[in-house]
Structures are given as C-alpha cells and as structure tokens.
Structure 1
Amino acid sequence: MASTMSRKADPDHSPAERVAWRHALAGLAIVAGLALQIAQFAGITLAPHGVGYLLWLSTALLWRDLPPRNRRQAGWLAAIGLSLLLVAHLVFDADIAWWAILDGNTYVVAMLVGVSFIGLIGNLRGQSRPPGGQAITGRRGLAGTWLGVHLLGTILNLSTVFMVGDRLQRRGPLSMPQLLGLNRGLSSAAWWSPFFASMGIVMTLAPEMDYATVVMLGLPLALCSGLLTLLELPRRFDLSATAGFSMSPRSLLMPVAMAGLVMLFHYGLTPQLSIVSIITFLMPSVALATNLSRGPAWTLYRLRQHTLTRLPAMRGEISLFLCAGLLTQGLSTLLDAATGSGWTLFADFGIAQASLSFLAIVASAVAGLHPIIGVSVLASMLELAPGEQTLFAFVALSAWAIGTSVGPLSGINLSLQGRYDVSGTRMMRHNLGYALVMALLVVAVLWLLAD
C-alpha cells in the first residue's frame, strides 16, 4: 500500500508528466520527419519511408489529445482508407506496397511543419493600438482586420488569426463581425498563397499546373471576398463600437521578403525543386538564422520550445492530412484494381465537370467534411491531362477557400471555436450567404474561361 501511495505521489508518474513526455516524443518525431524530408531534397535518402513513419508515430502519440470531433473524423478517414486497401488486395488481388501506405500527404505535412517555424521570428509588434487608446472602428476597422489577417496569414497561416484575434480581444470578447473578418481574411488567402496547405496539396495532386494562371484567377476572387465582407457586414451589424486591427507598413516586410526569397530559389537558385519543397526547407532555415543573431544557446532554446509546444499543438492538422492521404491512397488503389486502371469519374475534365466538382466539394464542407477530403477523393477518380491540371487546381483552391470559411469542422472554425468560445453552427449560418455569393462568382469565372 505504501509503495502504491508513493508512486501516486511521485510527480514523475503524474498524468501531467506522462502528457509532457508524449508531447516531447511527438515533437521530436515531427522534427526528425522534417529533417528527413529536407535531406531528401538534397539527394540524401536515409530512410525511404521514414518521413511517413515518424509523422504517423507523432499522430499516434498525440491521438488521445485530439478533440473528439477531430479524432472521429480522422479515425474514420484512416479506417476507410485501410479498409479500401484490404478490399483491393483480398478481392481484386491488387499488389500493394504495404510499407509505403503511410506516405500519403507527407510532403504537405512537412511543409506545414516548416512554415510553423516562422513563429520563431517574432510577434506582431507595433501593429495595433494599445487597449487604452482610441480604436479604429466601423468599416475601416473591419477592413484592417480582414486585410491584416489576409496578408500576414499568407505566410504565418493560422497563427495570424490568434495573433490578431488576441489583440482584438484585449478590449473584450470578440463580436461576430470580428470573428467573420478573421475567418474570411484567412480562408480567402487559400486562393493564391503558395504557403498554404491548400496550395501544397494542389501542387502535389496537379504538379503540371500553371501557378501564374491560378494566381491571376484566384487573387481577384480573394479581393472580391474582402469587398463582399466590407459591403455585407456593415449592413447586418452595427460596427460603430467594433474595434478593428491596425496595420503598419512595417508589418508587410516579412511576408514580402519571404515571398521574394521563395521566388528567388524557385526561379534562380534551385529551379529543380517545387515551391512546396522550397518552402519546406526555407522557412525553418530563415527562422533559425534570424535567431542565431542572439547566439546559439538562445536559438537552441527557441527550437526546444517550438518542438515541445508548437509542434504537438499541430496534431489536428497533421492527423487530418495524414489520414486523408491514406483515404486517397485506398480509394485510388481500389478503383485501379476494380477497373483495371481504366475508369475515371469524367472522360474529360472540362468547365461543366469542374463546376459540378466544385459545388460538390463545397456542399460536403457545409455538411462537415474538410475540403481536403473532397479534393483528395476527386483527384483519385480523375486522370488529368497536363492541360487540365490548372483547371483542377483552380477548382480545388476555390472549394478550399469557400469550404473552410463555411464548414463547421474546418481548421479555422474549429480554432475559433476553441479559442474564442463561438458556436461553429452559428459561424456557419452567418457565412452561408457569403459562401453562396462567392460560389456563384467562382462558377461565373469557370464559364468565362470556356469562352
């Protein structure tokens, strides 16, 4: 009895300590997976499937910490994907490389991990008025919130929502217009930002897409999202006392500099690497180099903190993308085995097919599925010719931008729910009209392309 009581009193065996050890091991596994991925870019293949094994190991260690809804969704994706692989093998005698089934979407997860290191560069300083000062309100304040999250989010991704949202929250609980500004400002960046997971997924599924064309189509739609927000929300809400985010020109230096570096590597220094690959190694390198100005000890301290806290906190994103990758692999393998690699959803992927696919993915997002699921399933059922890949990319990015804004289980809406205690269903209701207008604009752009 005494020994039992001493073990219970021993802090080394406390639940908090066990959680800390799991998070530490998971963070180390994620960092090791990123390092292996970067090594492969340099032609050094230490373990052909090691990246996938390490990232899945981190997911297993962090599984119990996932919110129940995320855990159910990711679990179903993985279970269905594995079941489809088993059916393909047992029923259709498909030859499956079982040691490689965990590789799906590891490129994108590695990019997400690499982008997370940008948080080591620093916080947004001097970009909002102090709580005691006079806040920018009304339509101008809303414009600052949307634009600030949109521009800074192109590089810093979801962390920008928390940075801006926490500053706005200093004046009191966030109102619905503020939450909608955060939501739409970030989700609309999926139309064109090369640093978003959406672009990483699309570049993996459609490697021959023309990025310049996608940006030429997506950037105006992102601007339409901002204009629609500025026209719609003041009609529905009283913004006279709603504080907005105030940006300074200095705050744009980092996003512009990082985008310039990516283009320099892509077109000059490492043209053989994709943008996803460049972002994966460039973001951590710049972040660590910036911290080295304060000495190696400081840099190691920041790296340790990032590994132990920030990386385990990415468990929702990592698990969702990995499980969706397994689903895609299972579905595509079964379709190939059952049809002899001769069946596709559409014989040709034209404007009509693109419109139907886009609307179906957005509808599935409203029903609660993350757009990555719809995009991945669609890609597994298509045989895209090189000339069709840019059209597919535009459809996927548009569905992602709109689907994540309105979907109650998207990453940004789950984050807003957890951080600021807002109902996901309520957010979805307030975004339905916005999603409908933006969807009509996307379909109009698709049919204009046919002319």
Structure 2
Amino acid sequence: MNIFKKYTGWFVLGTLIFYLLSVTHSISVLLPTLLAWTANVAMWHTLAPSAKRQVSWLMGVGIAALLFAGSKGIWMSWQQVFAVNLPMLAMFVAVSFLDLTSTTDKSRALPTGLSAIFNTAIGVQVLGAVINLSVIMVFADRMKGAIKLTPIQQFILTRNFSAAAWWSPFFVATGIALIYAPGMQWQKTLIPGLAMGFTAIVFSSIEAYLRKKGDFNGYPIRRESLFIPLFLAVCVIFFHFIWPDISILVLICILAPSATMLLMRTASRWKSLSHFVNHKLPQIGSQFALFLGAGVFSNGISAIILSYPQLFNLDSFTFSPLLFSLTLASMIVVGIIGVHPVVSIAIASPMLLPLHPDPTQLGFLFLSAWAISAGSSGLTGLGLLMTSRYQIPTKIIVTNSVYYAIFMWLLCSLVNGFFL
C-alpha cells in the first residue's frame, strides 16, 4: 500500500495519458480503467468520512442492483460498469493542471461597493469556469481577511462559480452532460448557458447590494488574470470548428495541460510539474471516488430498468417542457438536500433516454440541475467546503438561496420552452 501512496499522482496522471491513447485505439481502454481504479484505492484514505459513506452506498447499491439484474438475465459489460465515467475523470485531471497558472495578489486593497460585488461575481465565474474549485478558495481566503467570510460573500462566490456549469466546456458538469446525454451538441447550449450565467451574476449582485447597501469587500480582479480562461475557451471553440470529429472532452484533455505548460509562470517548469503530480494530484481522491462510484450506481439503475421494462415504461410520456421543468425541480430539490448532481443525473439519464429526448435539451437539463443545486446546497461538495473551511452554517447557505433557486428554475424552464 505504501508504494500505492508514493506513486498515487502518477496513477492519476496515467489515467489521463492512457485514456488519450485509448481514444486513438493504440491501446485498450482496460489500461486507463485499471489505473483509475488503482488511483481510487490509493486515495481512499484521504476521503472525508461523509464522502466514504456516500461512495460506499453508491457502490453497494450499484453492485447489488447489478447482481440482481444478472439473476434476471441482464448483464452489463465491464466497460459500462467500470469505465463509463473514464472520459470525465481524464478531463478532470487535465483541468486540474490549470491550477498551476493561477496567481494571488495580496498587496492590493479589497474593493468595496456595487462594482466590487459585480466584478467579484464575474471574476469567480470566468476564472472558475477554467481553473475550477481552487478559485473559490483563492477568492474566499483573500476576501475574508482577518475576519470570517460573510454569508453574502459566500453566496456571491458559490452561486456564480456554479453558474459556470451552464456554459464552460472545462467544467466537470459539461463532461457529465456529454456522457449522460449522448449526442448533446455543446455549442447549442453555449448561448443560452452564457445568458443563464450572466443572469446569475446580475441577480446575485443586486441581491447582495440591497442586503448590504454596498458594504461588501470584494476580490481585487486584474484584467490579465482573465486572459487564460478566455484564451482557452476560444481555443476549444476554434479547434472544435476545425476538427468537429474530435469530441469536446478529448480537446480539453489535450489543451488544458498543453496550455498550462505554455502559460505557467515559474522559474522551473519541471520542478513545478513534478510537485504538482506528486502532491496536488493525490488530493483529488473525492472526485475519483464519487465519479467511479456513480458509474457503478448508474449502471445498476440501468440494469434494473432493463429488467423491468413494463414497470419503468414511460412510453405514454414525451420529453415535453412540462416534464423538463418537473424533472429539473426534482433534481434541484434532491441536490439541495445533499445528493450530488452527478448521482441525480445518473438516475435521471437511464429513465429519460428511452423517451428519445433531444440530446441538447437533455444536456441543458443536466447542466441546469448542476448549476442551480451546487450553488444553493450546503451539503454537496461546494457547500461542505463553505461549512468546514469558512464556518458558514448549512441552514444559512440553503435559506440564502431559496429564492435564487426558484427564480433560476423558472428561467431555465422558459429558456428550454422557447429556445431549445
């Protein structure tokens, strides 16, 4: 087990490298799958007790469902059970490299007032869209200073960070949507997604200003810090236009590490990369465990549905705007009470796919569920970070965002009905 711990980061990195090789059919997908599960075992000891319980339940229920379905003659392939979320894990590893391009400026005074609220909301969404969760900690640690982070600062950060799920190709939610809504065209959700993300910024900024009357310490955004996220987003769109046959996921897996090595500011690239692989990559165990567990769980649900086609027959339904709205409301509610969005997506996908929904509409449903529930819940990963690191009570996180969640749910339903 010690050798596992010593080389954990390399198992994680190997998952990305050998996944890309498997896409070219140079090697079997079995190798990156084995590396991902080996990394999961090696990182298991780093998980919080709550994460271990959640993943153990997912695995346990999933395996029990698979065995029960097997007794009925329904067997899923090993690729479906163990490798379904492999592309998304590879993407997560690739995007983690972007943490090496972030910088922190501690010399500038914290801005105040409405412009500080608005700029902080934009900054955390744009930077978080590419660099992901580490941005939240960079912003929050700087904003709280010598005092505690306030609930107003908390919802400006969490809501707007999560809102990037609507439009960012680098966000984990996009990888999940592309997998669980096969055939989804991300480009078609980009404009509605950007509109939803901007609405989240405006809604949250106005609410924060009205509640604090401008008494708000924001984050000192610098224009140059927005260059990398915008540069990468343009690169993804450009290369996808040139090579449409290459999936968005694969493009991100290639571009994110490449751009990091090109743009990182350090005296020694090799030393920084080596430290990152050995010390930073082994810290993403909760994501590996959750997504691998969710893969087993979702295929268990799929197997049960296949075992009882009459019981789960939704042929009398169509994927109408009403069904979209009701499903989204259900996913938001279970997300707020602590079910991770990837789990609710894993449950909803096998039940909705037999209705032959438009893949882009289905993908927008999953992105919306992720963006709203992750930004409003005190019990998913982002909320738990705010509770444990910044002592924001779970109840306050939820009550702060009830009206936000309802408003964004209604808006998503309208956007789906009129534009998608």
Q: Partner of 2:226 in structure 1?
A: 252
Give 1:220 deviation, angstroms.
1.3
The whole-number CA distance in structure 2 between the counterparts of 1:341 and 1:32 is 42
RMSD: 2.4
Bigger CA radius of gyration: 1
Give 1:111 deviation, angstroms.
0.3
Q: Cα–Cα, structure 1 residues 255 and 98, in superposed 2: closer, same or farther, change >3 Å?
A: closer
| Deviation string, structure 1 residues 317-336 (Cα, Å, up to 9, x no partner) | 22111111111111112212
Q: Partner of 2:200 in structure 1?
A: 225
Q: Partner of 2:348 in structure 1?
A: 378
1:43-442 equivalences under 5 Å are 43-45=25-27, 47-90=28-71, 92-98=72-78, 101-125=81-105, 130=108, 133=109, 135-237=110-212, 239-240=214-215, 242-268=216-242, 270-290=243-263, 298-339=268-309, 343-344=313-314, 347-383=317-353, 388-442=358-412
* Unaligned residue ranges in structure 2 (runs of 5+): none
The whole-number CA distance in structure 1 between the counterparts of 2:175 and 2:334 is 21
Give 1:437 deviation, angstroms.
1.7
Percent same amino acid among aligned pairs? 26
Q: Cα–Cα, structure 1 residues 412 and 249, in superposed 2: closer, same or farther, change >3 Å?
A: same
Give 1:254 deviation, angstroms.
0.7
Q: Does the CA-based 8 Å contact 2:160-2:375 persist in structure 1?
A: no
TM-score by length of 1: 0.86
Give 1:199 deviation, angstroms.
0.7
Q: Partner of 1:24 in structure 2?
A: 6
Worse-superposed segment, 58-67 or 149-158:
58-67
Q: Partner of 2:24 in structure 1?
A: 42
The whole-number CA distance in structure 2 between the counterparts of 1:439 and 1:358 is 7
TM-score by length of 2: 0.93
Give 1:129 deviation, angstroms.
5.5
Q: In the alignment, residue 52 of structure 1 is paired with which amino acid?
A: T
Worse-superposed segment, 423-432 or 338-347:
338-347
Q: In the alignment, residue 19 of structure 2 is paired with which amino acid?
A: Q
The whole-number CA distance in structure 1 between the counterparts of 2:278 and 2:316 is 46
Give 1:368 deviation, angstroms.
1.1
The whole-number CA distance in structure 2 between the counterparts of 1:339 and 1:48 is 30
Q: Cα–Cα, structure 1 residues 293 and 226, in superposed 2: closer, same or farther, change >3 Å?
A: closer
Q: Does the CA-based 8 Å contact 1:26-1:62 persist in structure 2?
A: yes
* Unaligned residue ranges in structure 1 (runs of 5+): 1-17
| Deviation string, structure 1 residues 367-388 (Cα, Å, up to 9, x no partner) | 2101111111111112367761
Residue 8 of structure 2 aligns to a residue whose secondary structure is helix
Q: Does the CA-based 8 Å contact 2:156-2:205 persist in structure 1?
A: no
Q: Cα–Cα, structure 1 residues 174 and 221, in superposed 2: closer, same or farther, change >3 Å?
A: same
The whole-number CA distance in structure 2 between the counterparts of 1:336 and 1:349 is 20
Q: Does the CA-based 8 Å contact 1:336-1:343 persist in structure 2?
A: no
Q: Cα–Cα, structure 1 residues 386 and 253, in superposed 2: closer, same or farther, change >3 Å?
A: farther
Q: Cα–Cα, structure 1 residues 346 and 102, in superposed 2: closer, same or farther, change >3 Å?
A: farther
| Deviation string, structure 1 residues 305-346 (Cα, Å, up to 9, x no partner) | 112222121111221111111111111122123329994476
Q: Does the CA-based 8 Å contact 1:23-1:308 persist in structure 2?
A: no
Q: Cα–Cα, structure 1 residues 123 and 293, in superposed 2: closer, same or farther, change >3 Å?
A: closer
Q: Does the CA-based 8 Å contact 2:118-2:205 persist in structure 1?
A: yes
Q: In the alignment, residue 53 of structure 1 is paired with which amino acid?
A: L
Q: In the alignment, residue 273 of structure 1 is paired with which amino acid?
A: I
Give 1:446 deviation, angstroms.
3.1
Q: In the alignment, residue 29 of structure 1 is paired with which amino acid?
A: F
| Deviation string, structure 1 residues 11-59 (Cα, Å, up to 9, x no partner) | xxxxxxx88x6543322211111111121233311x4222222212222
How many residues matched? 420
Q: Cα–Cα, structure 1 residues 208 and 104, in superposed 2: closer, same or farther, change >3 Å?
A: closer
Q: Cα–Cα, structure 1 residues 292 and 232, in superposed 2: closer, same or farther, change >3 Å?
A: closer
Q: Cα–Cα, structure 1 residues 66 and 43, in superposed 2: closer, same or farther, change >3 Å?
A: same
Q: Cα–Cα, structure 1 residues 256 and 124, in superposed 2: closer, same or farther, change >3 Å?
A: farther
Q: Cα–Cα, structure 1 residues 332 and 175, in superposed 2: closer, same or farther, change >3 Å?
A: same
Worse-superposed segment, 439-448 or 284-293:
284-293
The whole-number CA distance in structure 2 between the counterparts of 1:265 and 1:391 is 24
Q: Partner of 1:5 in structure 2?
A: none
| Deviation string, structure 1 residues 178-200 (Cα, Å, up to 9, x no partner) | 11111112011111111111111
Q: In the alignment, residue 83 of structure 1 is paired with which amino acid?
A: A
The whole-number CA distance in structure 1 between the counterparts of 2:357 and 2:392 is 43
Q: Does the CA-based 8 Å contact 1:345-1:382 persist in structure 2?
A: no
Give 1:249 deviation, angstroms.
2.0
Q: Cα–Cα, structure 1 residues 345 and 361, in superposed 2: closer, same or farther, change >3 Å?
A: farther
- Structure 1 residue 445 and structure 2 residue 419: aligned? no
Q: Cα–Cα, structure 1 residues 236 and 346, in superposed 2: closer, same or farther, change >3 Å?
A: farther
